[in-house]
Chain A
Amino acid sequence: KNQVEQSPQSLIILEGKNCTLQCNYTVSPFSNLRWYKQDTGRGPVSLTIMTFSENTKSNGRYTATLDADTKQSSLHITASQLSDSASYICVVSGMGFQKLVFGTGTRLLVSP
């Protein structure tokens, strides 16, 4: 069964600290993986896309990694800011799939 699991479910960190969110997937065959950020009351917005051959990709203070062998991805946030408080959703696309497989999301709260 094609699934995407994210951990932790929720996370609270102090402003300025770093954190890492995890995404494990069983989608096969794999096409690409995206991380989305969803602010409260808004629609999700894409942060990064990772394809099979990519190990690391950065977008400002966000760095995503992908290990296609273990089917794991992580999203590392450096020097967190209050505006990073949001839900982060991992979405995997499979080869030949019409549907994207969504993770359950991680709710991050950055506290002052």
Chain B
Amino acid sequence: DTAVSQTPKYLVTQMGNDKSIKCEQNLGHDTMYWYKQDSKKFLKIMFSYNNKELIINETVPNRFSPKSPDKAHLNLHINSLELGDSAVYFCASSQDLGDRGSGELFFGEGSRLTVL
């Protein structure tokens, strides 16, 4: 069974559209994250939830809205998509938050978003 699964894996859409990416983890972890990986392969934190509570909210346009219905799910909704939103978005989970414990991140396979 996949530990962290996200859907869809590929998403191609037009500018101005609204889209969602879903993420689920079956590891029993308390913390989930969304990362954005740009064309230079640099991973940048967007959001972090701990037990459904928003912990980290980086300087991300408010067109991006995370939703955590329970601690096993963290979805990402993006409104009014722009060309610059094209990237690979990774969902991740960890048992601990930040420096508490080992902090190992378990990543999903990524969702490649292409905005035309």
Binding site for B on A (CB under 8 A): 31-32, 34, 36, 38, 41-46, 49, 87, 89, 91, 93-100, 102, 104-105, 107
A98 close to B107 (CB less than 8 A): no
Rounded to whole angstroms, the CA-CA distance of A46 and B104 in the bound complex is: 7
Q: Min CB distance, B96 to chain A, in Å?
A: 10
Q: Is the interface of B mostly helix, strand, loop or mixed?
A: loop
Note all chain A residues with C-beta closer than 8 A to B41. Answer: 38, 87, 104-105, 107
Q: Is B8 an interface residue (CB 8 A)?
A: no
Interface residues of B in 75-116 (CB under 8 A from A): 90, 92, 97-99, 102-105, 107-110
Residue in A32, A36, A44, A95 with the greatest tally of chain B CB atoms within 10 Å: A44
Bound Cα distance A97, B98 (Å): 6
CA distance A105 to B37 in the complex (A): 12
Residue B12 lies at the interface, judged by CB distance under 8 Å to chain A: no
Is there an interface contact between A99 and B56, defined as CB atoms closer than 8 Å? yes
Say whether B15 faces chain A, with CB atoms less than 8 Å apart.
Answer: no
* B43–A97 CB distance below 8 A: no
Complex: A37 Cα to B13 Cα, angstroms: 30
B99 CB → nearest A CB, Å: 4
Interface size bracket, B side: 20 to 34
A43 close to B109 (CB less than 8 A): yes
Most chain A beta-carbon contacts within 10 A, residue among B56, B108, B110: B110
Q: Please, which residue of chain A has its CB at the minimum distance from the CB of B109?
A: A43
A53 to B109, CA, bound (A): 33
Point out the residues of chain B lying under 8 angstroms from A98, CB to CB.
48, 55-56, 97-99
Nearest residue in A to B43 (C-beta to C-beta)? Answer: A102
Kindly state the separation between the CA atoms of A97 and B88 in the bound complex, as whole angstroms: 25
Q: Would A95 and B99 be within 8 Å (CB), given that A44-B43, A89-B43, A105-B41 are in contact?
A: yes
Instruction: Decide if A99 touches B45 in the complex (CB within 8 Å).
Output: yes
Residues in A whose Cβ lies below 8 Å from that of B42: 102, 104-105
Given pairs A46-B104, A98-B99, 8 additional interface contacts (CB within 8 A): A32-B99, A42-B110, A43-B4, A43-B109, A44-B43, A97-B98, A98-B97, A100-B98
